[in-house]
Amino acid sequence: MSDMKLINGDRKPLITIKFLRRRNEAIMKKCLKIFFVLLLSSPVFAAKKLHSLATKFSDVILAGMTPGMVYSLKKERNIPYTVVNYAESKRDIEVTIEKPSKSQLKENYEPVPDVSWVTVFPSRFSLESGEERDCDLIISIPPDEEYANRHYQTMIVSQSAGKPASGQTGIGLNFALASRLRFSTGPRPEKALNEYRQKVFAALNLEMTPMSLFLKQNLPVGERVLMDGFDHSTVQVVNKSRKKHKLALNIARDAENYGISGDYASVPPEVKLKIKKQKITSKARSFNDVVLEIEVPDKEEFYGKNYVFVVVGKVLGFDLPIEIFSRVYFKTEEKK
């Protein structure tokens, strides 16, 4: 099973980064909305390795990006592109950006129009045996409207040029590793979200279910409603593994980045949402109800509305941030 990263960032203050190729300096005006998870075929997290060369960056999906902005993946969320040399000798490494081939291109994505949109720094370096190097990926999207609400993919290729061993003639072999980088100037495709959930479950046997919960009853306005699995359904954390997991639960700030239905709007700030227990321990082979409270203000503008919010569970205890999530849809009562 291939590795995969899906990245989700929180809203943060503006930051300044150096853009070495075109700009001396750029200000981040919009936070990168991303999910992040590195998954292997077992619950043990490690590098993607081929022969003597390895990377810790295999398949990354980003969303909520804005044309005209510059993004630094390493500085924004401390997610570097890491190359590791497992050879017994020193290696010269080159990292390049390429357009994906037809077989590499994922469904719902198109090749990036110009590979110059993505810059690797540094792109050339040497690694001693056992040494690793963190690189930054800087994404610059032109400010043209034609690039809005599109889904792009590019490939990051690391290649090592080995030297012949002592006493041997000829040239060393070149080993190359290719990693996907997918980004959207808008919400992620639904298929990418489903792919992410499947990867998490395959690695940890942990999920939040259902992916989309539609409350059957219209919620009253001006009253506190308890979603505890009795009067109103709620989402659950399901752990089918043989290990316990600790999670921190929260309400996502930007539901639009989780592929919500177009018939529903994100819950406005005036609507009070509360998770009764924000940290839980999911025991082996068990499930936990996520008990929620919703209180819609008794005001004219909140009657007869369709709302959605997203419950996110961050899995604790890993070096990399791993998240599971569910979308909750509800309607408010009509004005009598």
3-state secondary structure of 75: helix
pLDDT at 266: 94
Domain, as residue range, for 72 = 5-186
Count of Cβ atoms closer than 10 Å to residue 201 Cβ: 17
| Chain mean pLDDT for the chain | 81
Contact between residue 135 and residue 123 where contact means Cβ atoms under 8 Å apart: yes
Summarize pLDDT for 298-330 with one digit per residue, the tens. Answer: 999 999 999 999 999 999 887 566 889 999 999
CA–centroid distance for 47 within its chain? 18
- In sequence order, the 6+-apart residues with CB closer than 8 A to the CB of 90 are 126, 127, 128, 129
Residues 9 and 145 in one domain: yes
pLDDT at 141 over 50: yes
Q: Report yes or no on 336 lying in a domain.
A: no
Q: What is the full DSSP assignment across 200-265?
A: HHHHHSEEEE-SEEE-SSPBPTTSEEEESSSSS---EEEE-SSS-EEEEEEE-S-GGGG---TT-E
CATH of the domain at 93: 2.60.40.1740
Q: What is the mean pLDDT of residues 186-200?
A: 78
| Residue 255 contacts residue 310 (beta carbons within 8 Å) | yes
pLDDT per residue as tens digits for the range 269-288: 999 999 999 999 999 999 99
For the segment 39-68, the average pLDDT, to the nearest whole number, is 63
Query: Looking at the structure, do residues 256 and 107 belong to the same domain, yes or no?
Result: no
Number of domains in the chain: 2
201-211: per-residue pLDDT in tens?
Answer: 777 889 999 99
Contacts of 84 (CB under 8 A, 6+ apart): 47, 49, 53, 54, 55, 56, 127, 131, 132
Residue 90: pLDDT over 50: yes
Per-residue pLDDT at 8 exceeds 60: no
Lowest mean pLDDT, pick from 29-38, 51-60, 106-115, 281-290: 29-38
List Cα–Cα distances, 105 to 146, 148, 191, 294, in angstroms: 21, 20, 14, 42
Tell me, what's the pLDDT at 15?
A: 31
